[in-house]
Amino acid sequence: MAVMLSFDPTPVDRCVCHNVTFAELLRIHRETGADLAELQRRTGCGTGCGMCVPYIRVALATGRERLPVMLEPGGRDAE
């Protein structure tokens, strides 16, 4: 019997600490023009461990709701 495993190459889609998706942050950004600081104030995103901040910056710059794991903050994608 074959077992199908799925692999999502773009697994990062939210601030885990505050359970705020990048989709929601992008919606707020589009509707209000909120920058990162304003998004942090409104949702708390990026104010916990801070690991999501580089991802939020990329999401805001690219409009992408799902991102690959980055090896370097704001830098290269995982290979």
Alpha carbons 3 and 20: distance in angstroms, whole number: 32
Residue 15, Cβ neighbours under 10 Å: how many?
27
CB of 52 to ligand FES, least distance (A): 3
Q: Which is nearer to ligand FES, 48 or 73 (CB)?
A: 48
Closest CA to 23 of 62, 56, 53, 65: 65
Interface positions with ligand FES (CB under 6 A)? 15-17, 45-52
CB of 48 to ligand FES, least distance (A): 3
CB of 77 to ligand FES, least distance (A): 18
